[in-house]
Structure 1
Amino acid sequence: MSGHARREPRRLTRWWRRQSLRTRMTVIAATAIAVSVFVAFQVASELMDWKLRETAVTQLHADARSLATNAQRAGLAQVQLSPYPGSGRLVRVILPDGSTRTPAGQPELPPVSEGAGRVARGASADLLESTDWNDGYRVYTLRAADGAVQVVDVADDGPINEFGFGMLLIGLFCVAGGALVGRAVARTGLAPIDRLTAAAVRVANTQDLDAGIPDEGGGEIRRLIQAINDMLAALRDSRRAQRLLAEDAAHELKTPLTSLRLNIELLVRLDRRGTLDTALSAQSRTRLLNDLGAQVAELSTLAAELTDLARGDISDEGAEPLDLADVVVAAVAQARSRVPDLEVALDVTSVWVSGRPAALQRAVLNLVDNAGKWSPEDQPVQVRLRAEGASAVLEVDDAGPGIDAADAPRVFDRFYRADSARAMPGSGLGLSIVQRVVHAHGGRAAVARSARGGALLRLELPVTDPASSVVHSPSGS
Structure 2
Amino acid sequence: MTVIAATAIAVSVFLAFQVASELLARELQSTAANQLRADSRVLAANAERAGLARVQLPPYPGSGRLVRVILPDGSTRTPAGQPALPAVSEHAGRVARGASADLLESNDSDEDGYLIYTLRAGDGAVQVAHVADDGPINRFGFGMLLIGLLSMAGAALAGLTVARTGLAPIDRLTAAAVRVAHTRDLDADIPDEGGGEIRRLIQSINDMLAALRSSRQAQRLLAEDAAHELKTPLTSLRLNVELLIRLDRRGTLDSALPAESRTRLLNDLGAQVAELSALAAELTDLARGDVSDESTELLDLADVVVAAATRVGSRVPDIEIAMDVTSVWVSGRPAALQRAVLNLIDNAGKWSPADQPVQVRLRAESASAVLEVDDAGPGIDAADVPRVFDRFYRAESARALRGSGLGLSIVQRVVDAHGGRVAVARSARGGALLRVGLPAAAPPAPIARLTAGEDNAAR
TM-score bracket for this pair, using the shorter chain length:
0.7 to 0.9
CA distance in 2, matches of 1:388, 1:417: 32
| Contact in 2 for aligned 1:399/1:455 (Cα 8 Å) | yes
- For 1:331, the equivalent position in structure 2 comes to 308
Residue from 252, 255, 259 that aligns with 1:282: 259
> Is it true that 1:63 corresponds to 2:63 in the alignment?
no
> Is it true that 1:236 corresponds to 2:202 in the alignment?
no
CA distance in 2, matches of 1:321, 1:192: 47
> Is it true that 1:35 corresponds to 2:16 in the alignment?
no
TM-superposed CA distance for 1:429, in Å, is 0.8
User: Once superposed, what is the RMSD of the aligned Cα atoms?
Assistant: 2.6
- For 2:392, the equivalent position in structure 1 comes to 415
> Is it true that 1:431 corresponds to 2:415 in the alignment?
no
- Per-residue CA distance 1:55-92 (angstroms, 9 max, x = gap): 22222222222322332333322222234344323322
Residue from 96, 100, 103 that aligns with 2:76: 100
Length-normalised TM-score, structure 2? 0.88
Q: CA 1:195–1:146 in 2, change beyond 3 Å: closer, same or farther?
A: same
| Contact in 1 for aligned 2:95/2:103 (Cα 8 Å) | no
Residue from 81, 88, 107 that aligns with 2:64: 88
Residue from 373, 377, 383 that aligns with 2:350: 373
Q: Which stretch has the larger CA shift, 141-150 or 405-414? A: 141-150
- For 1:346, the equivalent position in structure 2 comes to 323
> Is it true that 1:384 corresponds to 2:361 in the alignment?
yes
- For 2:453, the equivalent position in structure 1 comes to none
Q: CA 1:256–1:92 in 2, change beyond 3 Å: closer, same or farther?
A: same
- Per-residue CA distance 1:79-117 (angstroms, 9 max, x = gap): 222343443233222333443322334344344445434
- For 2:20, the equivalent position in structure 1 comes to 44
TM-superposed CA distance for 1:118, in Å, is 4.2
Letter in 2 for 1:195: R
| Contact in 1 for aligned 2:92/2:103 (Cα 8 Å) | no
Letter in 1 for 2:291: I
Q: Secondary structure at the match of 2:248?
A: helix
CA distance in 2, matches of 1:359, 1:265: 39
Letter in 1 for 2:305: V
CA distance in 1, matches of 2:231, 2:350: 23
- Per-residue CA distance 1:204-244 (angstroms, 9 max, x = gap): 22222112222222222222222222221111111111111
- Per-residue CA distance 1:355-377 (angstroms, 9 max, x = gap): 22222222222222222222233
| Contact in 2 for aligned 1:327/1:357 (Cα 8 Å) | yes
> Is it true that 1:265 corresponds to 2:218 in the alignment?
no
TM-superposed CA distance for 1:428, in Å, is 0.7
> Is it true that 1:394 corresponds to 2:365 in the alignment?
no
Q: CA 1:94–1:463 in 2, change beyond 3 Å: closer, same or farther?
A: farther
TM-superposed CA distance for 1:306, in Å, is 0.8
- Per-residue CA distance 1:409-466 (angstroms, 9 max, x = gap): 1111111111121111111111111111222222222222222322222222223426
CA distance in 1, matches of 2:328, 2:66: 103
- For 2:154, the equivalent position in structure 1 comes to 177
| Contact in 2 for aligned 1:390/1:466 (Cα 8 Å) | no
- For 1:453, the equivalent position in structure 2 comes to 430
Letter in 1 for 2:66: L
CA distance in 2, matches of 1:323, 1:98: 114
Letter in 2 for 1:166: G
CA distance in 2, matches of 1:110, 1:186: 60
Q: Secondary structure at the match of 2:187?
A: coil
Q: Which stretch has the larger CA shift, 151-160 or 435-444? A: 151-160
- For 1:161, the equivalent position in structure 2 comes to 138
Q: CA 1:107–1:324 in 2, change beyond 3 Å: closer, same or farther?
A: farther
- For 1:208, the equivalent position in structure 2 comes to 185
CA distance in 1, matches of 2:156, 2:99: 64
> Is it true that 1:109 corresponds to 2:85 in the alignment?
yes
Q: Secondary structure at the match of 1:465?
A: coil
Q: Which stretch has the larger CA shift, 405-414 or 330-339? A: 330-339
CA distance in 1, matches of 2:350, 2:445: 35
- Per-residue CA distance 1:297-334 (angstroms, 9 max, x = gap): 11111111111111112222222333333322322222
- For 2:294, the equivalent position in structure 1 comes to 317
Letter in 2 for 1:288: L
Q: Which stretch has the larger CA shift, 239-248 or 155-164? A: 155-164
TM-superposed CA distance for 1:284, in Å, is 2.6
- For 2:52, the equivalent position in structure 1 comes to 76
Q: Which stretch has the larger CA shift, 402-411 or 265-274? A: 265-274
Q: Secondary structure at the match of 1:161?
A: helix
Letter in 2 for 1:28: I
| Contact in 2 for aligned 1:347/1:385 (Cα 8 Å) | yes
- For 2:451, the equivalent position in structure 1 comes to none
Q: CA 1:301–1:158 in 2, change beyond 3 Å: closer, same or farther?
A: same
- Per-residue CA distance 1:250-307 (angstroms, 9 max, x = gap): 1111221222223233333443444433333433322222221111111111111111
- For 1:11, the equivalent position in structure 2 comes to none
Q: CA 1:307–1:123 in 2, change beyond 3 Å: closer, same or farther?
A: same
Q: Secondary structure at the match of 1:67?
A: helix
- Per-residue CA distance 1:12-44 (angstroms, 9 max, x = gap): xxxxxxxxxxxxx22222222222222222222
Structure 2: segments with no counterpart, 5+ residues: 447-459
> Is it true that 1:356 corresponds to 2:302 in the alignment?
no
| Contact in 2 for aligned 1:93/1:101 (Cα 8 Å) | yes
CA distance in 1, matches of 2:218, 2:92: 101
- For 1:19, the equivalent position in structure 2 comes to none
CA distance in 2, matches of 1:407, 1:86: 117
Letter in 2 for 1:276: L
Percentage identity across paired residues of the two chains: 81
| Contact in 2 for aligned 1:446/1:457 (Cα 8 Å) | yes
| Contact in 2 for aligned 1:392/1:463 (Cα 8 Å) | yes
TM-superposed CA distance for 1:467, in Å, is 6.5
Q: CA 1:244–1:320 in 2, change beyond 3 Å: closer, same or farther?
A: same
Q: CA 1:398–1:72 in 2, change beyond 3 Å: closer, same or farther?
A: farther
Aligned length: 443
- Per-residue CA distance 1:373-402 (angstroms, 9 max, x = gap): 222333332323333333222222323222
Q: CA 1:79–1:240 in 2, change beyond 3 Å: closer, same or farther?
A: same
